[in-house]
Structure 1
């Protein structure tokens, strides 16, 4: 089982960041590796930038706690199990931290290691894009 934890500080309030992060169907707005996403009940259907489709289940969602958890159902990644949680944590009224964690397993340890590096890179690129968007709302796609 592999684990990833990525955190990033934002110089805007948690509500501003959650306004972007909190809609699971709008991830294509701030995750560069996702071309499109849409929700059907608790299932998120997405298409990666390379054209590959995937499905994820939103297992938990709390606007009050500014957190949601999702699980990989199927798609191009060779995952046996994947569960990820993204949270927006208050620091002050003008700053917050995004905490994004994942646990997953693949068929082999070397595959898990490669996936861990890829997934961490995706998370970091997404949080960088998110930072640009919330710091400069005119950038929004």
Structure 2
């Protein structure tokens, strides 16, 4: 299953990347995450509202290309596999953030439920990031 969410932010791509590209500090702009930290290449995140803890491995981080890729290791979501990429691209109005996830769950019904949840997390996070950066 694939989920992709995007947003355009009227700021320079490098300025957007300084915030969005800090893989350990996502709790600052992802409302679903209460706290986050990076230990080596493993990100630890605690979901808000008692949603549990998750760990993800940062498998690629490219400052020059303004993107990073991470994989879900463990947590409360019933995922069999999960790989996500967050990228900041040049855009005529500033920067475009593209956040994609490719994942699999135990059943088509579970995948559909997770697609809706992941898409909602991405949309609210991108809206929060836009608000923070554009003021």
TM-score range, shorter-chain basis? over 0.9
Q: CA deviation at 1:37?
A: 0.5
Q: Which residue of 2 is the match for residue 139 of structure 1?
A: none
Q: Which residue of 2 is the match for residue 34 of structure 1?
A: 33
Taking the aligned partners of 1:50 and 1:74, their CA distance within structure 2 comes to 18
Q: Which residue of 2 is the match for residue 111 of structure 1?
A: 110
- The 5-angstrom pairing of residues 56-135 of structure 1 reads 56-92=56-92, 95-135=94-134
In structure 1, list runs of 5 or more residues that go unmatched. Answer: 137-141
Taking the aligned partners of 1:126 and 1:16, their CA distance within structure 2 comes to 17
The 3-state SS of whatever aligns with 2:84 is: strand
- How many residue pairs get aligned? The number is 134
Within the alignment, does 1:9 sit opposite 2:46 as a pair?
no
Taking the aligned partners of 1:96 and 1:39, their CA distance within structure 2 comes to 25
CA RMSD between the two structures: 0.9
TM-score, length-normalised on structure 1?
Answer: 0.93
Show CA shifts across 1:38-63 (max 9, x none).
11100001100023101000010011
Taking the aligned partners of 1:121 and 1:28, their CA distance within structure 2 comes to 16
Taking the aligned partners of 1:40 and 1:16, their CA distance within structure 2 comes to 24
In structure 2, list runs of 5 or more residues that go unmatched. Answer: none
The 3-state SS of whatever aligns with 2:119 is: helix
TM-score, length-normalised on structure 2?
Answer: 0.97
Taking the aligned partners of 2:11 and 2:42, their CA distance within structure 1 comes to 30
Structure 1 runs of 4+ aligned residues shifted over 4 Å read: none
